[in-house]
Amino acid sequence: MRTAFSDAIVAAAETDSRVLMLTGDHGYALFDPFRKRCPAQYINCGIAEQNMVGVAAGLAKAGFRPVVYGLAAFVPLRVLEQIKIDVCYEDLPVIFVGDGAGFVYSHLGTSHQSTEDIACTRALPGLTVLSPSDRYEVTAAMQLAFESKGPVYLRLGKSDRGDVHTGPVSFAAGELLQVRSGSGRVAVLATGSMVRTAVDIVDGGLVADVWSVPSIKPLDRGALEAICAEAESLIVMEEHSVHGGLGSVIAELVAGLSRPVRVCRIGVNDRFSRYCGTYDYLLREHELDAASVARRIAAFGVAAA
């Protein structure tokens, strides 16, 4: 996924000299190709993330297309006020990239783990929130971000759990992408790293449709309504807090539909990680590994075939 992001940003910068890459003193190996091919369009703003957003806002007002890169624990969380006032309030075309969302920076502890970023960013007016699940969705998300006339937050999980698509895809803002077809009675809606987990569980015997949700905000209400017209149960999966994330988005939209549908929200419960450890360990601790998710789905009343 990171390679797809690097390729997309290099291609965009070579096509358009207004594209600038801003980083807060990290991501060096990731940006080696960018610095080699577009050195004049690379700005290291240092460990001063709030100032970096202000710089990006000024550059956007001057006609540039800044891409602001940071760890998701810092961009957007540390700079939320600056994103709100400097960028969103002015409706500026700045792309924010939060890398390592969720538990990927597992050994670095809570300070570097980000399970609140969707909740924070989707509350900001005018900010598009994208959460791709594999390299193909990353490429499509970058294209959508550069086509946008307003601010965008792109959430990268970095975990690279494997492709969920067999080739390139494209999607419009709000669009859902079906990656597995089942009975239609159960629909799994997942985003980011959890799409791969959803696919694995369905391939393991759960009879359900699987939909990837690369666009958290906006999200196509009509598409969701069409899914709910067939489904009896929705299972929402995300490597993010159950408060304010994709599960909340789905529950809020479903609450307004005329036909009631049961919603099972699978995400991070209201707590921090108890211990440091590997990424796989933290998924198990928070019951987001495939075996734990399958048990939670069964407890909800949806069993595998």
| pLDDT at position 3 over 80 | yes
Q: What angle do CA 101, 32, 168 make, to 5 degrees?
A: 60
Q: What is the CB neighbour count within 10 angstroms for residue 77?
A: 18
pLDDT mean across residues, the chain: 95
**Count of Cβ atoms closer than 10 Å to residue 55 Cβ:** 18
Q: Specify the number of domains making up the chain.
A: 2
Residue type, 300: F
Q: How far apart are CA 266 and CA 208, in angstroms?
A: 16
Residue 194 counted as domain residue: yes
CATH number at 260 reads 3.40.50.920
- Same domain for 266 and 218: yes
What CATH number does the domain containing 138 carry?
Answer: 3.40.50.970
Q: Does the pLDDT value for residue 233 go beyond 70?
A: yes
166 lies in some domain: no
| 231 and 108 share one domain | no
The residue type of 70 is G
Same structural domain for residues 142 and 184? no
Distances (CA, A) of 96 to 42, 74, 133, 274: 15, 11, 17, 29
Residues 144 and 270 reside in one and the same domain: no
Q: Give the pLDDT score at 28.
A: 79
| Residue numbers of the domain that contains 248 | 177-299
Classify residue 304: in a domain, yes or no: no
What are φ and ψ of residue 98, in 5° steps? -100, 105
Q: In this structure, are 150 and 7 located in the same domain?
A: yes
- Same domain? For 45 and 77 the reply is yes
Whether the per-residue pLDDT at 143 is higher than 90: the answer is yes
CA distance 260 to 262: 7
Q: Which residues fall within 8 angstroms of residue 253, CB to CB, at 6 or more apart?
A: 219, 221, 224
Residues 181, 147 share a domain = no
Instruction: Assess whether 17 and 148 both reside in one domain.
Output: yes
pLDDT-based confidence at residue 160 (cuts at 50, 70, 90)? confident
Whole-structure pTM value? 0.96
User: Do 116 and 57 belong to one domain?
Assistant: yes
Q: Does residue 165 sit within a domain?
A: no
10 shares a domain with 51: yes
Q: Is residue 130 in a domain?
A: yes
pLDDT reported for residue 305? 57
Q: Categorize the per-residue pLDDT at 258 as very low, low, confident or very high, splitting at 50, 70 and 90.
A: confident
What confidence tier does 85 reach under pLDDT thresholds 50, 70, 90? very high
